[in-house]
Amino acid sequence: MSRKPETVVRSEIGHLRDGGQVTPEPVFRDPYMLDFLGLPEDYSERDLEVAILREM
């Protein structure tokens, strides 16, 4: 979040306080494209680990 302007950070915090969910954009520095792993929409961390190791 430190890479975003203060107004965006305040907006995201306000959204969380209102019961919303934080969007990935201010949290993650760089997005990762993991489509090649063929994971389902709701994968677990373990599923991610197994898929990465499978592709290595």
For 5-49, the pLDDT digits (tens) are 777 777 777 777 777 666 666 556 666 788 899 998 889 999 999
The predicted structure's pLDDT at residue 52: 93
Q: Domain limits of the chain?
A: 6-55
Which segments of the chain does DSSP mark as H helices, in order?
6-17, 24-27, 45-55
The predicted structure's pLDDT at residue 17: 75
The predicted structure's pLDDT at residue 1: 47
Handedness of CA 50, 51, 55, 56 (dihedral sign): negative
The predicted structure's pLDDT at residue 32: 76
